[in-house]
């Protein structure tokens, strides 16, 4: 059985989602897990978000060590972790789950002149808010204007930079991740403060 299948069977059998399996130099086998996501039911209260704990990683590590030994998979060190703040987005369900969030994408090919000349034709990397496009695909919306620095006075007469939109399909992506944006004001902080 292939490594990906062994790890996926073990992780999903324990009730988790497999986000990523990565082999690194020196025999490191890195496995990233998350809790399965359920789309919110219309009219019902949203379920509280679950986070992967150290105990979850420990439980998966123990089971994976046994499964990998049984199938004689060669590795030196096993590392099981949560996806973190720059979680990779792999499939359609991940994009549905994180719609409205700021993400970073890297395209397989540069966009060319498709953006109407507002964006460099050889650009592949973008950061913006993920949303559904009117055609049913995906898009990110961004502005190339840098955010104001804390305490900086912003003129009310200043015209903001225009928003730009890039539509894409999952086949056009090399990589997509949540943007690692950290708010040190805590969960209860009011927006804009």
- pLDDT single digits (tens) 68-112: 999 888 889 999 999 988 899 988 888 988 989 999 999 988 876
- Domain 92-146+158-178 in this protein, CATH class: mainly beta
3-state SS, residue 63:
helix
Q: Answer whether residue 5 shows pLDDT above 50.
A: yes
Whole-number Cα distances in Å, 1 to 8, 55, 66, 67: 11, 27, 15, 11
The mean per-residue pLDDT over the stretch 148-169 comes to 80
3-state SS, residue 96:
helix
Q: pLDDT band at residue 3, thresholds of 50, 70 and 90?
A: confident
Q: Hey, how many other C-beta atoms are within 10 angstroms of the C-beta on 106?
A: 12
Phi and psi, residue 47, nearest 5°? -70, 145
Enter the pTM of the model: 0.75
- Return the structure tokens found at 32: 């990233």
Q: pLDDT band at residue 193, thresholds of 50, 70 and 90?
A: very low
The mean per-residue pLDDT over the stretch 126-140 comes to 88
Cα dihedral 114, 117, 119, 123 sign? positive
Contacts of 23 (CB under 8 A, 6+ apart): 3, 29, 30, 75
Which strands, in side-by-side order, build the sheet including 164-168? 164-168, 138-142, 125-132, 102-107, 173-178
**Which listed CATH number (1.10.3470, 1.10.287, 2.40.160, 3.30.300) goes with 3-81?**
3.30.300
Helices (H) and strands (E) in the chain, counts: 3, 8
* pLDDT, mean over the chain: 84
The mean per-residue pLDDT over the stretch 19-34 comes to 91
Phi and psi, residue 3, nearest 5°? -55, -50
Name the residue ranges covered by the structural domains of the chain.
3-81, 92-146+158-178
The mean per-residue pLDDT over the stretch 29-33 comes to 93
Give residue for tokens 């890039």. Answer: 166
Query: What is the rounded end-to-end Cα distance, in angstroms, of the chain?
Result: 53
Question: Same CATH fold, 92-146+158-178 and 3-81?
Answer: no
H or E stretch at 76: none
Q: What is the pLDDT of residue 41?
A: 75
Q: What is the CA 32 to chain-centroid distance, rounded?
A: 12
Taking the C-alpha atoms of residue 29 and residue 47, their distance in angstroms, rounded to an integer, is 32
């Amino acid at each position: 059985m292939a490594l990906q299948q062994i790890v996926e069977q073990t992780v999903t059998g324990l009730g988790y989602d497999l986000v990523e399996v990565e082999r690194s130099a020196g025999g490191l086998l890195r496995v990233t897990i998350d809790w399965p996501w359920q789309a919110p039911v219309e009219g019902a209260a949203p379920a509280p978000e679950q986070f992967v704990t150290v105990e979850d990683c420990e439980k998966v590590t123990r089971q994976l060590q046994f499964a990998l030994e049984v199938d004689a998979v060669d590795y030196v060190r096993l590392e099981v972790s949560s996806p973190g703040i720059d979680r990779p987005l792999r499939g359609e369900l991940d994009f549905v789950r994180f719609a409205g969030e700021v993400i970073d994408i890297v395209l397989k090919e540069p966009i060319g002149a498709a953006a109407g000349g507002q964006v460099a034709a050889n650009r592949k990397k973008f950061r913006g808010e993920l949303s559904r496009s009117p055609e049913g695909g995906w898009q990110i919306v961004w502005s190339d204007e840098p955010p104001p620095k804390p305490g900086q006075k912003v003129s009310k007469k200043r015209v903001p930079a225009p928003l730009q939109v890039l539509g894409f399909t999952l086949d056009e992506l090399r990589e997509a991740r949540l943007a690692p944006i950290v708010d040190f004001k805590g969960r209860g902080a009011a927006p804009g403060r």
